[in-house]
A and B are shown apart, each in its own frame.
Chain A
Amino acid sequence: DTAVSQTPKYLVTQMGNDKSIKCEQNLGHDTMYWYKQDSKKFLKIMFSYNNKELIINETVPNRFSPKSPDKAHLNLHINSLELGDSAVYFCASSQGLSGGAGELFFGEGSRLTVL
């Protein structure tokens, strides 16, 4: 059983399109995250949700909108895609504020290529 699964794994699209990436975790964790990894492998946090509530929203264009229908799911919708949005997007989860050592469990990543 995959603990954190995200779909699709690869996404190739044209500039200006709108796309979504879905994420689900079956670990019973309270907190979920979206990270962006650029071509130099730098990992930057974008959003964090705790029990469906947004707790972190880093400086991210408002074309990016996360949605958490329940605590096991955190989806990322991107409007009007730009070339600079090309990256690998990682979903992650953790026990968050409810305990644990704060370790993150990552999905396999979704590689977005904007042409």
Chain B
Amino acid sequence: GEDVEQSLFLSVREGDSSVINCTYTDSSSTYLYWYKQEPGAGLQLLTYIFSNMDMKQDQRLTVLLNKKDKHLSLRIADTQTGDSAIYFCAESPGGSYIPTFGRGTSLIVHP
């Protein structure tokens, strides 16, 4: 099976919160990342969390990590149309900095 799993689509109304979920299998992951890919562009790192943290907040973004369940989530508060993109979860296995990516969640924000 895949090392990193995430649902493929999420649709939200503008102004609502979005929560994108991810599960991973490697319990020795050192870092967990969220990348954003806008149409026709490359991936850009949004945020990352170190494995000894439970939560990280950065303006409208909140990352929650449940190590026991190997579950990572990204919450976007007050979602805007400009947040429409594909969001990739990734994890870095222990001893290596080369991340494994999930299949990406397409976030669609409608008025």
Chain A residues with CB under 8 Å of chain B are: 4, 31, 33, 40-43, 45, 48, 56, 90, 92, 94-97, 100-109
CA distance A108 to B39 in the complex (A): 10
Count chain B residues whose beta carbon lies closer than 8 angstroms to a beta carbon of A: 23
**With contacts A43-B88, A102-B31, A102-B92 known, is A108 near B97, CB below 8 A?**
no
User: Which among A48, A103, A106 is the interface contact of B33 at CB below 8 angstroms?
Assistant: A103
Interface string of B79-101 (1 = CB under 8 A from A): 00000001010001000011101
Contact check, B101 vs A43: say whether CB atoms are below 8 A apart.
yes
* SS class, residues of chain B in contact with chain A: strand
Q: How many inter-chain contacts with C-beta < 8 Å in the A-B complex?
A: 55
Contact check, B41 vs A108: say whether CB atoms are below 8 A apart.
yes
Q: In the A-B complex, list the 5 residue pairs whose CB atoms are closest, starting with the nearest.
A: A102-B97, A106-B42, A43-B101, A106-B43, A103-B45
CA distance A105 to B43 in the complex (A): 8
In the complex, chain B residues 15-70 whose Cβ is within 8 Å of any chain A Cβ: 30-31, 33, 35, 37, 40-45, 48, 50
